[in-house]
Amino acid sequence: MNKKQPNMNVGAAGLFLVFSLLFFILIYRFLSIQITGEADGQVLAAKAQQKYSNETVIEAVRGTIFDRNDEVIAEDASAYTLVAILDEDMTTNPKEPKHVVDPEKTAMVLAKYINMDESEILQRLSKDGAFQVEFGVAGRDISHQIKSEIEKEKLPGIIFTKGSKRFYPNGVFSSHLIGFVEKKENEDGRSETSGKLGIEQSYNKLLTGKNGSLKVESDLWGFLLPDAEKKVTPAENGDNLYLTIDKKIQTFLEDAMNRVDEEYEPEKIIAIVADPKTGDILAMGQRPTFHPQTREGIENSWHNEIIETTIEPGSTMKTFTLAAAVEENVFNPNETFQSGSYRVTPKSVPIRDHNYGRGWGEISYLEGIQRSSNVAVAKLVNEKMGVDTFRNYLTEFGFDKTTGIELPNEVTGKIQYEWPIEKVTTSFGQGTTMTPLQLVQATTAIANNGKMMKPRIIDKIVDSTTGKVIEQSEPKVAGTPISPETAKKVREILETTVTNEDHGTGGNYRIEGYNVAGKTGTAQIPGDDGKYLTGRENFLFSFLGMAPTENPELIVYVAVQQPKLDESTNGSVPVSMIFNPVMKSSLQYLNIQPASQGKVTSDEIPDVKGKGIDESVKQLQESGLNPVVVGNGDKIVSQLPEAGVNTLEGERILLRTSGNEIKVPDMTDWSFRDVMKFAKLAELKLNKAGNGFVTKQSIKPGTIVSGGEYLIVELSTPLQQTEAKESEKKSDDNKETANEPSESDSEAENNETEEVVYD
C-alpha cells in the first residue's frame, strides 16, 4: 500500500501540470483574441460579417470611346449569359418545372440560336450532380433579340443572367488603333475585362472604372434578417474618351482600302489622314485588319503597322532632303547636273536613277526633283549642304525618336549613317528606316509653315457620371525644323511633281478642283536573306501628299505593299485609288473650297428660317445658290448650311418646312456632302458605297420618310462613270485589244516601278 502512494502522487502531479498548461494556453488564446480581434491572422469580426452577409457586385460600366464629333466608336451594351438549371430540387411544382426536363429537346432547340453543336449542348445538359451549367463563349454576350427568341421557346430550366459586352457599332473601323476588349474569369469565378491593342489597352485603367458592392446581413441559413442594414458601395464607372478621329473621314478611308484590298490583294496597306495645323489624326487604317467584335482576322496582324513597324520610306524621303537644301539655301532650281549615276566615293557602288541609271542627260535640279532623281538629292547632300548638316535635319524632323502619340508599343526607326554611301542613300529613303507616323509628323512642318506638330489621338477625357472634362489635350509643337518661307517654297516645288505633265512622277494624284503637293515613293523591300526583293510588284508603293498647296488642311499618306499588278498597271494606281478619293471627299466634307470650281459668294448665306417657301427660294436663287425644299409645310423651320456661312456659287441649300411629311428628292449627281445635309434634316441613318457623286439611292424619289429610317446611296467618280460607259461600248471588243497598255501607262510604269538603287 505504501508502495502505491508515491506512484499515485507522481501521476497526479503529471496530470496537474498537463491541465495547468492547457489552462494557461486557453487563457492566453482567449486574451489574445480579445485584445487583437484576430485568429490565424484573420479578423474575426470580418469573418463573422462575411458569414452572415450577402454581397452582390455592382459592375462598373466601361467608358465609351467617341470620335471628335461625339459619334460612338466603342461602348458597353447589355448582354446576357445562357444558363441551364439541372438540379431537380429546384422544381417544387411539377406543372411548372424549374429545371431541364427534356435534355434532348432542349439541346436541339438551343443549337438553333447559339454557335454550339447539338451533341455538345446535350453533353453539358447531361452532367450528373451539377446544379447548373453554362455554355462557354457560345452562351455569352447574347443579344436581347436572341434572348427573347429563346424565351419564346419556353424551355424549362433555361434562364439568363444579365451582363454587358463591348459593342463596336462601326465594325472594321481603325481596328488596330481602337483595339478590343477581352473578358476572362478570375479565380473567384468573377469575370474581368481588359483592353487589348490600341486605345482599349493604353487607357484600360481609365476606361474600366471600379466595381461597387451591395452587402446585406443574413442569418446562418442565408435568409435576410428583418431590418437588416444595407451597405452600398457605388460603382465608379469608367471615364469617356473623345478621340481626334473623324468617323466620316475614317469611313472614306476604310471604303477606299477595301476596294484596293479586294482588287489588288496587296500584302499590306497603310494609310493616315492628319490635320497639319494641330497634329490631329483624323483617320488611320491598315490591311490586313480585323473585326473588333468577333476578332475575325486578328491572326493576320497583331501590330499597328503605322507605329509598331518601320519601313524604308523610298522617295517620299526626298521631301525632307529638299526642305533641308532649301533651308540651307543650296537648292538652285535652275542649276544643272548630269543625271544617270553618281559615286559618293571612287570605290563606292554607283547610285543610279530609277530608269536603270540611264538618266535624262544634263537637267536642272528642279527637273531632278520632278523626275524623282536619286542623283539629284545625292549631290545636294554630298556636295551642296554636307552630310553632317543633313544629319542634323534628320534629328530636327524627328526621325531618331518616337512621336509620343498616346498609343502602346510605338517604335522608332534606325538612321543608317555610318558609311559614306549610307549617308547619301538616306537622302532618297534607302537603308534608313522610320515609322509611317514619323513621316506624317515631319510633313506637318512642310504643311504648317515650318511648325512640326506632335501627332495626337486623344482630344479629351470626360467623367462619364458628371460630364466634367477631366483632361483636355491641346496641340503641341514638336519642333521648327524649317522657316515658313522654306515650307511655302517646298510645297510649290512638290506641287509641280503632280502638275508637270512632262517630268512629274505624281500625275496620278491630281484631284479636280484642288491643288495637291506631294512626293511619290517606290521603296525596295528587304528579303529574309538581307537582299532586296526583285520583280515589278515587290515594292512598297506610296504617296505622301497635302492639299490645298497654298494652305494645306490635310496630309494623307498611303502605302501599298506588293499589290498584284497586271502588265498594264503600275504601282501608283492602287495608291491613287486610296489617296485621291480620301483626300477629295475629306476636303469636300470639311467644306474646303476648291481652287478652280465656282466662286465664293460675296455675301453670307441668307437666313430664311421662318419665311415662306416662295420668298426663301427666290432670295437664295438671287444669291447664286440652289435651294432644295424638303417637307410639305408653308414655312421654313431649318436650313443647311446654316445662315452666315460663306459657300460656293451653286451650292445646294437644304430647306426643311414646318410640315410633318418629308419627301426624298432625286439625289442623282449629288455630292455625298449634300446627301449628308438631307440625312441630317430628315433625321435619317445614312450609309454609302463608293466615292464621288450619287448614281443610285435606296429610297425612291418622292417617297415619304420618317426619322430613323436608313438611306443608302451608291457613289462613283466622274472617271468611273466614264469608264463604265466606255466599258459598255467595248463589251464585245477583243479582250487582248481591250487590255493593251497605253503609251501613258508605259510611261507611268517607267516613272514609278523602277525607282531602284542598284548596289
Give me the long-range contacts of 691-696 (CB less than 8 A, separation at least 24). Answer: 691/252, 691/255, 691/256, 691/581, 691/584, 691/585, 691/715, 691/716, 691/717, 692/581, 692/716, 692/717, 692/718, 692/720, 692/721, 693/669, 693/717, 693/718, 694/667, 694/668, 694/669, 694/670, 695/668, 695/721
Closest C-alpha among 494, 343, 361 to residue 425? 343
Active site (annotated) includes residue 315: yes
Q: Report the C-alpha gap between 419 and 758 in whole angstroms.
A: 17
Burial of 8 from C-beta contacts in 10 A (0-12 / 13-18 / 19+)? exposed
Q: Report which secondary-structure segment, H or E, holds 132.
A: strand 132-134
Catalytic residue from among 174, 202, 315, 542: 315
CB neighbours of 596 closer than 8 A, spacing ≥ 6? Answer: 513
CB neighbours (10 Å) of residue 566? 8
The string over 645-671, giving b where at least 16 C-beta atoms fall within 10 Å of a residue's C-beta and e elsewhere, is eebeeebbbbbbbeeeebbbbebeebb
Closest C-alpha among 447, 140, 170, 364 to residue 285? 170
CB neighbours of 120 closer than 8 A, spacing ≥ 6? Answer: none
Closest C-alpha among 300, 321, 675 to residue 482? 321
Q: Report the C-alpha gap between 291 and 297 in whole angstroms.
A: 7
Are 181 and 294 in contact by the 8 Å Cβ rule? The answer is no
| Active site amino acids | 315
